[in-house]
Amino acid sequence: MATKSNIFFILSLLFSVNVIAQKKDATIKGKIVTSDGNAAYATIQLKNLETITGTDNNGEFILQNLPALKDSIIITSIGSQSITLAITLERGETKDLGIINLNTKIIQLRDVEITGRVAKSYKSDYSYFSTKTETQSV
């Protein structure tokens, strides 16, 4: 009987240590701005954890309730170059990434050629019907 209670005690101790080790209370925050200093609307993703958030109207973001981790943050925004940052978080840590500047991504579009012709005739494929009425003034 003592053996069963010892095994139960050891298993419960290991389980509680595992639960404590996985406590999710770390935080990552920061602000994303464009190259001209305005707030950027961007997506922030933790690559391995697959957690995604976006910036608010001020360009600020916060990722909460994270476990201790070693991961990569990927920041993407339309019209800007993506940024990847390595990050390490300890349990209970709040990491402020500060202000992150996004560089504009310039994409060369394909050329578009517009050709037209000038009509030399007044002939039209459209038909027109009208009625003329006369009114008398009193």
Longest dimension (CA), the chain: 121
> Is 5 contained in some domain?
no
Confidence (pLDDT) at 106: 82
Confidence (pLDDT) at 17: 47
pLDDT digits (tens, 9 = 90+) for 54-81: 999 999 999 999 999 899 999 999 889 9
Q: What is the distance between the alpha carbons of residues 81 and 104, in angstroms, rounded to a whole number?
A: 6
> Is 19 contained in some domain?
no
- Looking up residue 50, the CATH number of its domain turns out to be 2.60.40.10
* Number of structural domains in the chain: 1
Residue pair 30/96 in contact by the 8 Å Cβ criterion: yes
> Is 17 contained in some domain?
no
Confidence (pLDDT) at 130: 62
> Is 111 contained in some domain?
no
Domain enclosing residue 34, as ranges: 24-101
Confidence (pLDDT) at 23: 73
> What is residue 46's three-state secondary structure?
strand
The dihedrals phi and psi of 13, each to the nearest 5 degrees, come to -65, -45
- Give every residue of the chain whose pLDDT is below 50, as ranges: 17-19
Phi-psi region of 14 (alpha: psi -120 to 50; beta: other; left: phi over 0): alpha
> Is 109 contained in some domain?
no
